[in-house]
Structure 1
């Protein structure tokens, strides 16, 4: 029987109390309440008060779950704050072992003290726990020793003004301009923020610090190798870092350098210009904070970047763009990647609203714009025709613009566009004709495959000529059989490496037809390595034809079986989530997928007997390691009959 501690083991092997409560107590309780609510005898009750009471209990339970999710975020953030302490202590031990001078270790020990202070502040801020600032005088010291002990502010000054930080500042100033500017962009984000690598590189593209995603990845890795940023890896099957964070000391140093060089207009604590004046006239970049309005801000005449770090309401005028021809980056939308549960519990935290979206019509004046993000902004009904005048645009991010209904056909004039995201724009009904003209497109997310008799709409076959397209996500709102016919064209996408298919809502009658339909056959591109399927409506697949597929993901839907008839299966990573109808035995899975190295099965009750760890994960390395360990520890068995062994 597993212990509560084992159940609560989170990322990196750390024990998370909130995860234990959520996974071990709240989730099973909610499942039981769902069973009660679905019971025929309960649903058949004459009085509705019992149902109302049950619904109220479930709502309160979900509120508790949202609270524990937030607690889990705080716990993970605090756990990560111990990483620098471990590194510094290891450095001290290594220095001592090598016969290093005690005097050279003082800055590192002082650094440990500063980091402990940061952890204390994080605990106090997250849980409102009052922590005594100075140690009590009865801890083996007299009153004089306690009074003379250095304060936390003193230790911070010691580190800030010490040789170690001076060395870091010299290192930053000694960088080539391109790398230094990329690094200083990180000063714009709040302390402790987790920043998506992709969004950071998009900013760099907008400023011409890099010319492509590939160049951006190389520079990002340089910053990692120099230890100015720490990567954040959240996927056990993926070695690629998709996000990063900056150590608080390094961020404070970057803020100081960014201010002194007029790279960014931020105060010593790293906040943007005050809401009272919004004065950015000293620098070419404006980072918006404090929920103010953009319209009344003062900007440099050669403004190159607008980056919304914390502003909830953005107000423009049609003339505002007229004199902004130097703008290369406009990030008015959301940069944070919020947890869905957190978004429901705290909707205002991620809310951004554009006041008077028709003022976007003036954006065509920004002739040098290379990066435009309206990600997650409310009240944008349409993308204006002026978008077609942005001849230099490389990245256009419209993800989660939930009010967006029309995508102007002029978007297809963007000859240099490499990245387009229109996913989670649920009111869009079709794609304008002419996507094949955007020959540089590498990433396309949210393309709609729909039932439409309208003229001038784009179909999937039109994308075949996009020879640079390597990542595609599509949303299908057709019946399964008709979708199968249209998706056959995917086999002709020669350069495609990653494909995501999401099935939309269908009527209850069509849903019943879909789930009982014949096996679904999918012919994939020859170079595809990753396939991600959301809400697949049928009970089983027929074939997936691909010799290069390494990663296979299923999320939601009616899938009962993982049996796929595709000859020799080379899938190495299998991720399953929210497949409540799935019933499949582990032995059969290993036989059908002999190359598996990583399996994750979250919220799949029919696979309870799979050999998953507390994070619902199985890895081949762990299995091999455990088997070797068990074999080395196994004592030599005596030459006795099995019955005696069992009785013993």
Structure 2
């Protein structure tokens, strides 16, 4: 797992940890520190890079650890599993503190470093061994010794970037890493981009510097950077790139274009002649390096993109794809369509947004994407044809649905593994449901046209429910507990079923 980290660095971490906390207040308050394994210690140390009291998204933390080589890079699912275990362990022992929602008092996927722990991470008795400090700006920027300093470049607080690029860089995080609070418009359909309440403004002085990244780069984040209109072709040729985060690059209008084979160009003007005389033409180089190892591609919030390039359907290792555009713009032979994603046999998580009327062929072959577990669809105000969804979905997030019901979903009975159902905005009047669904978590937000019903009837539709949330809905179920915000099932509370005689039945949406 730590193949990218020298043994000497690992020895320094484990050795210094025992020397540095002995006799300190931290040792008295956090006796579990000595029980951490080397992976957890390294992951904890790596978060000392960020300022005190910073809110960090869990997703970003996992990305960060993968980029540093602290988690396995063979699979996103494996990396996430290991990362979740370490993340949860650090929270349970008090090194990381969870962020709670004020109204529902629910743990959100964000955390801060315990202030005492953060001070200890920056203390001299630790930093002399583990960290080297960049004092050029009179601020502490800890990295794991010289090895990490040479291979990690993160923009902590710069608004205008003049990036020094060297061939040893593995992690290049130029964009925003802070958690950004967003406020939705909260109209009936919640269309359009969200309104950021606070966000870093970052500009890169010379975008051509991106062309100098070396093949050693594994993690590249340009999140939220202004002024980037296109991604250079050279990014696609980074043989070891695992994560590409382009989220909220609002000026981005063009993703990199995969070059045609040079062999094909050289032979094209002689192809007809060679065929006539019976020569055997050499095969094109189909193994040309192009995002060969990419596991995560995030292009959500890039609203100026008008089509998806064809090469997206060729990313055989892709497991997470966010911000995929579904529309009728672009040439059919050059654009990637939703049905083309059925070729991605490892894709586990997908978010898409639609821009035009949905014809039946748009969703053709989409339900054959059997590996997909999590799907988010953001609809626009347009007509919807009959469609089917991948049958192994465990989480379905529907946003801005334009119709009153989802009767055009043709294979609802096949979604037998669905455990999480989230609906945000739109015109739905009924809660989508089916007797074959096993929904445990239900979130309903800003559904202004949702009809009022009875709380027991809602629970009857979903016998396995353990969490329900109503936010911004004009009509909540009668007798809904906890002031009509959220309900959490008690451990000893019995489950309800629509078959129970005392429970009023409301019709299913299908």
TM-score class, shorter = 0.7 to 0.9
Residue of structure 2 aligned with 1:207, choices 68, 73, 85 = 68
Q: How far has the Cα of 1:427 moved from its partner?
A: 0.4
Taking the aligned partners of 1:467 and 1:573, their CA distance within structure 2 comes to 27
**Residue 52 of structure 2 is aligned to residue 191 of structure 1:** yes
1:602 aligned partner: 471
Q: How does 1:60-71 map to 2 (within 5 A)?
A: none
**Residue 388 of structure 2 is aligned to residue 541 of structure 1:** no
Q: How far has the Cα of 1:335 moved from its partner?
A: 1.1
Taking the aligned partners of 1:409 and 1:440, their CA distance within structure 2 comes to 19
2:109 aligned partner: 242
Cα deviation 1:186-236 (Å, max 9, x = unaligned): 111222222222212222222222224233333334434543223446599
Q: How far has the Cα of 1:377 moved from its partner?
A: 1.0
Q: How does 1:572-611 map to 2 (within 5 A)?
A: 572-586=440-454, 587-607=456-476, 609=478, 611=480
Q: Which runs of 5+ in 2 are unaligned?
A: 1-20, 74-78, 185-193, 260-288, 497-510
Q: Is the 8 A contact 1:173 1:180 kept in 2?
A: no
Q: How far has the Cα of 1:353 moved from its partner?
A: 1.9
Greater Cα radius of gyration, structure 1 or 2: 1
Taking the aligned partners of 1:238 and 1:408, their CA distance within structure 2 comes to 43
* Distance verdict in 2 for CA 1:416–1:610, change over 3 Å: farther
Taking the aligned partners of 2:314 and 2:225, their CA distance within structure 1 comes to 27
**Residue 178 of structure 2 is aligned to residue 336 of structure 1:** yes
Q: Is the 8 A contact 2:32 2:93 kept in 1?
A: no
**Residue 255 of structure 2 is aligned to residue 407 of structure 1:** yes
* Distance verdict in 2 for CA 1:577–1:330, change over 3 Å: same
TM-score by length of 1: 0.59
1:263 aligned partner: 131
Taking the aligned partners of 2:355 and 2:217, their CA distance within structure 1 comes to 34
Q: How far has the Cα of 1:475 moved from its partner?
A: 1.1
Q: How far has the Cα of 1:280 moved from its partner?
A: 9.1
Question: Which piece of structure 1 moves more, 428-437 or 566-575?
Answer: 566-575
Q: How far has the Cα of 1:282 moved from its partner?
A: 10
Taking the aligned partners of 1:563 and 1:161, their CA distance within structure 2 comes to 57
Cα deviation 1:237-263 (Å, max 9, x = unaligned): 999973322211111111125522252
Q: How far has the Cα of 1:540 moved from its partner?
A: 1.1
* Distance verdict in 2 for CA 1:235–1:448, change over 3 Å: farther
1:498 aligned partner: 374
1:552 aligned partner: 421
Q: How far has the Cα of 1:440 moved from its partner?
A: 1.2
Q: Which has the higher helix share?
A: 1
Q: How far has the Cα of 1:407 moved from its partner?
A: 0.5
1:442 aligned partner: 319
Q: How does 1:343-358 map to 2 (within 5 A)?
A: 347=198, 349-358=199-208
Q: How far has the Cα of 1:489 moved from its partner?
A: 2.6
Q: Which runs of 5+ in 1 are unaligned?
A: 1-159, 267-272, 287-299, 628-648
Q: How far has the Cα of 1:463 moved from its partner?
A: 1.5
1:397 aligned partner: 245
* Distance verdict in 2 for CA 1:222–1:278, change over 3 Å: closer
Taking the aligned partners of 2:50 and 2:139, their CA distance within structure 1 comes to 20
Q: How does 1:161-310 map to 2 (within 5 A)?
A: 163-165=24-26, 177-212=38-73, 213=79, 214-232=81-99, 234=101, 242-256=109-123, 259-265=127-133, 273-275=135-137, 283-284=145-146, 303-310=150-157
Q: How does 1:150-169 map to 2 (within 5 A)?
A: 163-165=24-26
Q: How far has the Cα of 1:305 moved from its partner?
A: 0.5
Q: How far has the Cα of 1:285 moved from its partner?
A: 7.7
Cα deviation 1:430-477 (Å, max 9, x = unaligned): 111122321111111011111124131111222212221111111111
TM-score by length of 2: 0.74
Provide the secondary structure at the position in 1 that maps to 2:48.
helix
* Distance verdict in 2 for CA 1:453–1:162, change over 3 Å: closer
**Residue 303 of structure 2 is aligned to residue 426 of structure 1:** yes
2:365 aligned partner: 489
Cα deviation 1:37-63 (Å, max 9, x = unaligned): xxxxxxxxxxxxxxxxxxxxxxxxxxx
Q: Is the 8 A contact 2:180 2:197 kept in 1?
A: no
Taking the aligned partners of 1:426 and 1:495, their CA distance within structure 2 comes to 27
Q: Is the 8 A contact 2:341 2:366 kept in 1?
A: no
Residue of structure 1 aligned with 2:349, choices 468, 471, 479 = 471
2:162 aligned partner: 315
C-alpha RMSD over aligned residues: 3.6
Provide the secondary structure at the position in 1 that maps to 2:62.
helix
* Distance verdict in 2 for CA 1:361–1:439, change over 3 Å: same
Q: How far has the Cα of 1:532 moved from its partner?
A: 0.2
Provide the secondary structure at the position in 1 that maps to 2:396.
strand
Q: How far has the Cα of 1:612 moved from its partner?
A: 3.8
Q: How far has the Cα of 1:356 moved from its partner?
A: 2.8
2:390 aligned partner: 525
**Residue 169 of structure 2 is aligned to residue 327 of structure 1:** yes
Aligned residues: 426
Cα deviation 1:76-119 (Å, max 9, x = unaligned): xxxxxxxxxxxxxxxxxxxxxxxxxxxxxxxxxxxxxxxxxxxx
Taking the aligned partners of 2:196 and 2:371, their CA distance within structure 1 comes to 41
Taking the aligned partners of 1:582 and 1:450, their CA distance within structure 2 comes to 28
